[in-house]
A and B are shown apart, each in its own frame.
Chain A
Amino acid sequence: MSFVPGQPVTAVVERVEIQKLRQGENLILGFSIGGGIDQDPGQNPFSEDKSDKGIYVTRISPKGPADLAGLKIGDKIMQVNGWDMTMVTHDQARKKLTKKKEDVVRLLVTRKSLEEAVKHSKGCYPKP
């Protein structure tokens, strides 16, 4: 998940679809994000590489829409509804997630355990 300038970023991602919940006047997703290219990456407790300025999930409200959809704390969000989240400011990320006209968001998230799961599965089955 480290970013080398000029090289494409590859990651194993999981698709998570979250239905927004209507609470009074607002549509909420039930999690909090941190990070962004205008933030200090060294203070991110979830990133492996402390220069990673991506958007991370920092908190999930229990039994909220995100929790039910399978989002985990510490996930890095790579795309939201097709919009890239790896090189955005904190505010841009927030805006992409809280559009009033959309009531469902499709995220591509990545986490360390996904990589390991893929590696395991590659190793278990012999190549035909």
Chain B
Amino acid sequence: MDTESTHSGYSYHSSRSGRSNRHGDRSRERHKASSSKDSSRSERSVVINPPDTPSQDSPDDNWGETTTAVTGTSELSVSQEEVVGLGKGIQDRTQGFRRYLPLAVGSCVGLLVLATPLVFLLLPAVMWPDRLQVCGAACEGLFLSISFKLLILLVAVWALFLRPSRACLPRVCVYRAFLITLTLLLTMSYWLFYGVRILDAQDEDYHGIVQFAVSLVDSQLFVHYLAVVLLELRQLQPCYSVCVIRSTDGETRHYNIGQLSIQRAALSILEYYYRDFPLHNPALLSASKHRAAKHLAGLKVYNVDAGAQPSNGNQSRAMVTAAGKRKDSAHNELYYEEADYERRVRKRRARLVVAVEEAFTHVRRMKKEDERATPSDIMDVREAALAIFPSMARALQKYLRTTRRQHCHSMESIQKHLAFCLVNNMSPKAFLEAYLVPGPTLQYGPERWMADQWTLVSEASVTSGIKQGTEFLLKCLDFSLAITIKSIPYIRLTEEYIDPKSHKFLLLLQSETSV
């Protein structure tokens, strides 16, 4: 156990490469209580391993076999990653069916919708061709119109219904179901009419039949227009203001959205979450949990009267008053701890900025006159990044450890970012910005999100529309997002005309006159 805590953060990379890295992480997480000790230990023996070191695999393989079961309530976020990974494997197989169901239904209905007018036109020509009236010029003009309208309908149906959906929602969208029902109803009623009045009666007026088919295509285009309004346009105009709060660290954002059902609103909010919220960092929450644990650990309530059970209310009230009377200096500790932490972070940051600026001075773009330089000095961007990386690596690693973000950045990703900055002529400050500020969740790879599987918890039905005062919860394994909805107020705007000549001014002085 002792040896693993000296592994540097850069040996941790993508989930594919195996359990050995997670074991290193797990031991680091477990030493959180003595985090200062841990960091001092690692400072003395910093090991920057290039990726894919085979040496880590052998001692750790056996350790994985004896690991006990992981629980969802532990704050060892790394173990939960494994659980999520397991769950995802099982669910992917069943999701395949659900994901393609709307596509299948959509294409069936689409084919029906497209084929019906053609069938209407062909059946008379096939079944009673001799009694059919000759199609004149106007009738043939209608053929042209039908063909173009069908083409447009084809493209429109594909655009709205047949494209792969970007999310899987818990319930069927009410409007889509309504539209499909309406389309089928429309088509069925036309078929009924056609069957009774035209097929049975064997109508000879082909012009009328063609006009009938054109009217069907027109109605289908109007239903499609209704679909565009219901599915796309209705939610564009903002009506509600949404407040999203993350449960672990209280990050709050506000957004404006339009009229949507609860599940669609949850979907848009999740897209905003990935864009705006900084990455969830479980390492930053341990301090407050320790304080809370210490606070409770100091109190013990004993039941002196054996047999007489005091009510729960009395017991908890006694605990609260006892806690209030006990003289604790937790606030003092917190104050000095935070001041100390600030100072440490600022010191490390200063060292980091200086190291990076120095590193960037060692490399510059090759200019015309440098072509005569020795070939060994000329490097491509990857080699240049690798060459200047070691001089700033130590400072960067220390800074990331102090701000507890070392698990977000692997050595490979840092080198890649460095190469990117060199190619685009960025300043050292631009390179550093990615490490000084925790970026939005989407910036990091999916293995770091800790937010893959979302559950919508709502008291109202998830297909009902959002209203003023709706509240629901979006849960994932580690944290949840609490969402409250308020409507945007009705704004009453009036106008007032001011004559430009009416702007006149007086000078107010405090003059002093001696008499």
The contact sample of 24 A-B pairs, CB cut-off 8 A, is: A29-B515, A31-B515, A32-B514, A32-B515, A33-B512, A33-B513, A34-B511, A34-B512, A34-B513, A35-B510, A38-B508, A39-B509, A39-B510, A40-B509, A40-B510, A43-B510, A44-B510, A58-B512, A59-B512, A59-B514, A90-B511, A90-B513, A94-B513, A98-B515
- List residues of B whose CB falls within 8 A of some A CB: 508-515
CA distance A40 to B512 in the complex (A): 12
Residues of B within 8 A of A90 (CB): 511, 513
A28 part of interface (Cβ distance < 8 Å): yes
Residues in B neighbouring A34, C-beta threshold 8 A: 510-513
In the bound complex, residues from chain A placing their C-beta under 8 Å from that of B515 are 28-29, 31-33, 94, 97-98
Task: Classify the interface of chain B: helix, strand, loop or mixed.
Answer: loop
A38 to B427, CA, bound (A): 60
CB of A21 to closest CB in B, whole Å? 11
Chain A: residues with Cβ within 8 Å of the partner, total of: 19
Give Cα A94–Cα B511 distance, bound, in whole angstroms: 11
Closest to B506 in A: A38
Give the complex CA separation of A97 and B515 in angstroms: 7
Measured in the bound complex, the distance between the Cα atoms of B514 and A31 in whole Å is: 6
Give the secondary structure class of A's interface: mixed
User: What's the Cα separation between A58 and B512 when bound, in Å?
Assistant: 7
- Bound-state CA distance A39–B511 (Å) is 8
In the complex, the chain A residue whose C-beta lies closest to that of B507 is A40
The docked-state distance in angstroms from the alpha carbon of A29 to that of B513 is 12
* Chain A neighbourhood of B514, CB < 8 A: 28, 31-32, 59, 61
**Inter-chain pairs besides A43-B510, A98-B515, 17 sampled, C-beta below 8 Å:** A28-B515, A31-B515, A32-B515, A33-B512, A33-B513, A33-B515, A38-B508, A39-B508, A39-B509, A39-B511, A40-B508, A58-B512, A59-B512, A59-B514, A90-B511, A90-B513, A94-B513
Chain A nearest Cβ from B429, distance in angstroms: 47
Interchain CB contact under 8 A, A32 and B508? no
CB distance from B515 to the nearest CB of A (A): 4
Closest chain-A Cβ to B510's Cβ sits at a distance in Å of 4
- Which residues of B lie under 8 Å from residue A98 when comparing CB positions? 515
A15 to B513, CA, bound (A): 22
Nearest-neighbor residue (CB-CB) of B514 within chain A: A32
CA distance A28 to B513 in the complex (A): 12
Task: State the Cβ distance, A65 to closest chain B Cβ, in Å.
Answer: 10
For the complex, give the distance between the alpha carbons of A87 and B106 in Å. Answer: 86
Query: How far, in Å, is B340 (CB) from chain A's closest CB?
Result: 47
The answer for the CA separation of A38 and B511 in the assembled complex, in Å, is 10
Give 7 nearest A-B pairs by CB, closest first: A40-B508, A43-B510, A32-B514, A97-B515, A34-B512, A29-B515, A32-B512
Chain A nearest CB from B503 CB (Å) reads: 19
Give the docked Cα–Cα distance between A29 and B515 (Å): 6
Give the shortest distance, in Å, between A41 (CB) and chain B (any CB): 9
B513 touching A32, Cβ below 8 Å: yes
Collect the chain A residues with CB atoms within 8 Å of residue B511's CB.
34, 39, 90
**A76 to B: closest C-beta gap in Å:** 15
